[in-house]
């Protein structure tokens, strides 16, 4: 008994120092006979008990920045602009690591019973950098700017679903074209940063209501920020200053972390994770997220218009091998639909699809394919390790008698000339906060990014019906049926979900694994602090 107490104390201490994730903690404490609920609560307490220290400069070294980056939130597409915008900007709401909504600029969110009208009560006295407070009019102007095609906003697809926006006093009312129970999750989209006057005059001004204000903006080089003195939330934004350095080279980024030039880095190369784990003063954080690597077939183009051929290919990919060799074990095998346990309302009722040469051969014979080569287009930049993954896929498919061939394309122009154009290619998705958004973006028959040309009436019908279904149990069932359809009939081959792998210095406190995005969904430098 005493021994158990000692172990528990030790684990609480580890959790407090941030050396143990929630999952590890719960796993190990339940092994001692502690109930899972209690273990989870204990973990929360242990982490909170860490005392946040104020002051200092937190430096982040990141891959994914170019000198072409802009501060205009509508244009953010890669990792550095995302992290930068999360530093100076603030949305109506955020998504917590556990998948609940964290109200930010909106203090209260409510909807009509049919989920077609949503009300956002704007928090009073939230100040912009350099003065002025956030008003309901700013919120409406911001959303309106993103509906304008000229803004080239990455959130256009989200705001297009809003038929009417109204600002009255401190209340913003959004009327939707069709019911959508997930609207708060959509408003947490990283493009929808509230800007003064909607950012219409100068969208790239970098003025927002976030925890830090922009000091230096040198795209592709570095971004520095200082604390916004009047930030409304005193529980985050501990450092006096934060800096984001763009270090696109893997080796230099890792060396910078190890030598203490930066406190955290994104995108640790899976090949060196084991080596980095042995380095003192540095921790590797592999966080299971929603991001996944895919091979996509156009369901309307021969030979992929034949579901037997699609099934043959799905059985011909060796998922375990890909996770092991491409992700270095830092990920999970996928099941040919883009949803995993990181999503709310997920039901884990699916049998894991495995490599099965006999079944693949059987489906292949049934498809009646003429034996001509099936070409899979890929490029080094399709996802990290995409060329190796495609070759492994071809090898396992050839072993099942399927004439799969890899065609290497140049990185340059891959996303405009190959992806969403070639009938079979390698690609990746970063995932979305909710199932509806993921399916609406890429699997609804009318979606612009329907990169598998999937067209299934029952699937579309369920997707639209689920949006208006406020009963979460029923919605969850609907999503499960959709996943089943996509898994067995879709053009998506999803061999693996990749972890976000970050490197974090021991001098950083307050780290929490967040499945929403890498580096604590872009907020690690805002929410963590420097230990003395």
Query: Does 234 sit near another protein (CB under 8 A)?
Result: no
Using the minimum distance from each CB to another protein, give the nearer residue, 234 or 259. Answer: 259
Residue of 66, 98, 168, 274 that binds another protein (CB under 8 A): 66
Helix (H), strand (E) at residue 226: strand 222-227
- Decide if 336 contacts 494 (C-beta within 8 A): yes
Query: Smallest distance, Å, CB 388 to another protein?
Result: 20
Residue 472: how many other CB atoms lie within 10 Å:
11
Provide the b/e sequence for 194-216 (b: ≥16 CB within 10 Å): bbbbbbeeebebbbbbbbbbbee
**Interface of this chain with another protein, residues 465 to 504, rule: CB under 8 A:** none
Give the C-alpha separation, 143 to 452, whole Å.
Answer: 30
Provide the H-helix boundaries in 62-201.
Answer: 79-88, 136-147, 156-159, 183-187
By CB atoms closer than 10 A (0-12, 13-18, 19+), residue 419 is buried
Assess 68 for contact with another protein (CB under 8 A): yes
Q: What is the DSSP letter of 2?
A: H
> Which is nearer to another protein, 224 or 283 (by Cβ)?
224
Member of 31, 32, 77, 216 binding another protein (CB under 8 A): 216
Only one of the segments 138-146, 148-156, 310-318, 435-443 lies at the binding site for another protein (rule: CB under 8 A); that segment is 148-156
Distance in Å, CB of 155 to another protein, minimum: 15
Question: Rule CB under 8 A: is residue 222 a binding residue for another protein?
Answer: yes
Q: How many amino acids of this chain bind another protein (CB under 8 A)?
A: 32
Site stretch for another protein (CB under 8 A), options 170-178, 226-234, 241-249, 304-312: 241-249
Among 3, 33, 113, 149, binds another protein (CB under 8 A): 149
The residue among 152 and 301 lying less far from another protein, judged by its C-beta, is: 152
Toward another protein, which CB reaches closer, 223 or 298?
223
CA atoms within 13 A of residue 103's CA, in its CB half-sphere: 12
57-62/241-246 β-pairing: parallel
Cβ atoms < 10 Å from Cβ of 251: 10
Q: How far apart are CA 255 and CA 276, in angstroms?
A: 10
| Residue 310 to residue 296: CA distance in whole angstroms | 10
Closer to another protein by Cβ: residue 255 or 465 = 255
Q: Does 221 bind another protein (CB under 8 A)?
A: yes
Instruction: Report the alpha-carbon angle 334-337-341, nearest 5.
Output: 65
Site membership for another protein, residue 246 (CB under 8 A): yes
507 makes contact with another protein (CB under 8 A): no
CB of 81 vs another protein, minimal distance in Å = 10
Short-list 145, 167, 163, 166, CA closest to 154: 145
Beta bridge partners of 60: 244, 264
CA distance 157 to 481: 24
Beta carbon of residue 44, minimum distance to another protein (angstroms, whole number): 36
Task: Answer yes or no whether residue 218 interacts with another protein by CB under 8 A.
Answer: yes
- Tell whether residue 258 is a contact of another protein (CB under 8 A): yes
3-state class (DSSP) for residue 469: coil
For another protein, which residue of 152, 230, 347, 352 counts as binding (CB under 8 A)?
A: 152
- My answer on whether omega of the bond before 504 falls inside 30° of 0, hence cis, is no
- Those residues whose C-beta lies under 8 Å from the C-beta of residue 19, and which sit 6 or more positions away, are 283
Enter the tokens of residue 29.
């404490």
Helix (H, G, I), strand (E, B) or coil at 393: helix
351 binds another protein per the rule CB under 8 A: no
CB closer to another protein out of 234 and 416: 416
Q: x/- contact string, 386-425, with another protein (CB under 8 A)?
A: --------------------------x-------------
Nearer to another protein, 289 or 503 (CB): 503
Q: Is 147 in the site for another protein (CB under 8 A)?
A: no
Which of these segments, 37-45, 88-96, 259-267, 299-307, binds another protein (CB under 8 A)?
259-267
Tell me which stretch binds another protein (CB under 8 A): 110-118, 149-157, 268-276, 338-346.
Answer: 149-157
Catalogue the E-assigned strands of 309-402: 331-333, 374-378
Among 86, 93, 140, 256, contact with another protein (rule: CB under 8 A): 256
CB of 80 to another protein, least distance (A): 12
Among 14, 50, 96, 248, binds another protein (CB under 8 A): 248
Question: Of residues 56, 157, 161, 219, which one binds another protein by CB under 8 A?
Answer: 219
Q: Is 306 in the site for another protein (CB under 8 A)?
A: no
Q: Compare residues 257 and 400 and give the one whose CB is closer to another protein.
A: 257
> Judged by CB under 8 A, does residue 220 bind another protein?
yes
Alpha-carbon torsion, ordered 209, 214, 217, 223, to 10 deg: -100
Kind plus residue range of the DSSP H or E element containing 274: helix 273-277
Nearer Cβ to another protein (260/373): 260
Residue choice 40, 261, 455, 507 for contact with another protein (CB under 8 A): 261
Distance CA 90, CA 151 (A): 19
Q: Which of residues 350 and 428 has its CB atom nearest to another protein in the complex?
A: 428
Check: CB of residue 49 under 8 Å from CB of residue 31: no
* Distance separating alpha carbons of residues 23 and 499, to the nearest angstrom: 14
- The residues binding another protein (CB under 8 A) are 61, 66-70, 72, 75, 149-150, 152, 204, 216, 218-222, 245-249, 251-252, 255-256, 258-259, 261-262, 412
């Amino acid at each position: 008994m005493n021994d158990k107490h000692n172990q528990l104390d030790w684990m609480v201490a580890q959790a407090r120092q941030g050396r143990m994730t929630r999952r590890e903690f719960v796993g190990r404490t339940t092994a001692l006979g502690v109930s899972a609920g209690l273990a989870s609560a204990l973990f929360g307490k242990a982490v909170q008990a860490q005392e946040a220290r104020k002051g200092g400069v937190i430096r982040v070294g990141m891959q994914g920045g170019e000198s072409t980056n802009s501060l205009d939130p509508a244009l953010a597409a890669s990792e550095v602009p995302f992290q930068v915008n999360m530093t100076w900007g603030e949305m109506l709401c955020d998504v917590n690591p556990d998948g609940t909504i964290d109200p930010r600029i909106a203090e209260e969110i409510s909807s009509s019973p049919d989920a077609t009208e949503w009300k956002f009560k704007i928090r009073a006295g939230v100040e912009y950098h350099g003065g002025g407070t956030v008003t309901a009019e700013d919120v409406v102007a911001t959303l309106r700017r993103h509906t304008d095609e000229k803004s080239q906003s990455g959130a256009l697809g989200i705001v297009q679903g809003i038929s009417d926006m109204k600002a009255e006093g401190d209340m913003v009312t959004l009327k939707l074209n069709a019911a959508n129970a997930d609207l708060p999750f959509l408003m947490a989209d990283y493009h929808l940063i509230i800007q003064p006057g909607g950012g219409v005059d100068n969208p790239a001004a970098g003025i927002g209501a976030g925890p830090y204000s922009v000091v230096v903006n040198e795209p592709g080089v570095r971004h520095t920020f200082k604390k916004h003195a009047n930030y409304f939330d005193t529980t985050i934004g501990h450092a006096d200053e934060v800096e984001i350095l763009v270090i696109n080279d893997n080796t230099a980024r890792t060396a910078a972390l190890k030598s203490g030039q930066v406190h955290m880095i994104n995108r640790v190369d899976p090949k060196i994770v084991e080596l980095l784990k042995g380095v003192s003063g540095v921790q590797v954080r592999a966080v299971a997220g929603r991001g996944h690597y895919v091979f996509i077939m156009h369901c309307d183009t021969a030979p992929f218009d034949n579901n037997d051929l699609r099934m043959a290919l799905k059985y011909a990919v060796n998922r375990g091998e890909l996770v092991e060799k491409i992700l270095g074990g830092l990920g999970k095998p996928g099941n040919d639909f883009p949803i995993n346990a990181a999503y709310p309302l997920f039901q884990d009722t699916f049998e894991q699809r495995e490599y099965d040469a006999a079944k693949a051969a059987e489906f292949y014979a049934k498809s009646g394919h003429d034996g001509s080569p099936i070409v899979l287009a890929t490029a080094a930049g399709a996802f990290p390790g995409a060329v190796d993954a495609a070759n492994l896929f071809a090898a396992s498919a050839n072993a099942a008698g399927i004439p799969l061939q890899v065609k290497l394309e140049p990185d340059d122009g891959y996303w405009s000339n190959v992806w969403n154009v070639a009938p079979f290619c390698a690609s990746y998705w970063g995932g979305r906060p909710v199932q509806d958004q993921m399916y609406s973006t890429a699997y609804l028959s009318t979606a612009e990014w329907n990169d598998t040309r999937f067209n299934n009436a029952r699937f579309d019908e369920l997707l639209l019906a689920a949006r208006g279904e406020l009963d979460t149990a029923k919605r969850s069932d609907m999503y499960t049926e959709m996943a089943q359809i996509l898994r067995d009939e879709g053009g998506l081959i999803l061999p693996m979900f990749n972890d976000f792998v970050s490197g974090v210095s021991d001098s950083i406190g307050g780290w929490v694994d967040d499945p929403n995005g890498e580096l604590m969904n872009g907020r690690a430098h805002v929410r963590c602090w420097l230990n003395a």
